[in-house]
Amino acid sequence: MAQAKSLTDQELKIVLAMVAQGRHAARNRMKILLSHLGGMRVGEIAAVKIGDVLNPNGSIVDEIRLAAEQTKGSKPRTVYVSERLKKEIAQYLKHLKHLDPEKPLIYSQKGRDGFTANSLGQQFKTIYRKAGIQGATSHSGRRTFITNLANKGIGVRVLQALAGHASIATTQIYIDVNDEMKRAAVNLL
């Protein structure tokens, strides 16, 4: 099975522009950015609750602490929230009518019910297809997240921890080597 495509900055902009024109624009932008800026798996995005992203004082958390039942490996995992992602979450929460901490952050169109990982994965695939991004899947955001950080010189041990992988070998599979990375490497000489 082919690896999911990692997106360039320009391709991500195309995807975000496309979702901005459709129904549920804020929700769709949020799920794309949780994947691309947080490195979250589709199942984690489906499982995250409003209370997972809010501090008791109403501010956005620095870390999303996922319980074992919210993760792929059934082990708790911490997702570190960048300043950019914090701003995106805060903006998204303004679109919600109720901030019930027990409700899913990403709701279905039927109201305040959540998605399954499978149904959310299908939505990712549809969004990427409509945006004209070939080879992109629900895993593309994670691959893009890891590849972009590797491209900025972040070491594989840190990437492994951020991705929640048990093995460095798994993390290395996620890193797309591109011409920009190769050019930067040789220019270090």
Mean pLDDT, rounded, for 94-111: 86
- The three-class DSSP label of residue 78 is strand
Structural contact between residues 176 and 143, judged by C-beta atoms closer than 8 angstroms = yes
Find where tokens 């109720």 sit: 98
Residue 1 pLDDT class (50, 70, 90 cuts): low
**pTM, full prediction:** 0.90
User: What domain count does the chain have?
Assistant: 1
Reading the block at residue 127, the tokens are 């969004």
pLDDT at position 112 is 61
Range of the domain at 94: 1-189
Angle ∠(11,15,20) on CA atoms, nearest 5: 145
Residue 140 pLDDT class (50, 70, 90 cuts): very high
Mean pLDDT, rounded, for 105-109: 85
Structural contact between residues 157 and 168, judged by C-beta atoms closer than 8 angstroms = yes
Q: Domain holding 46: CATH number?
A: 1.10.443.10
Report which secondary-structure segment, H or E, holds 145. Answer: helix 140-151
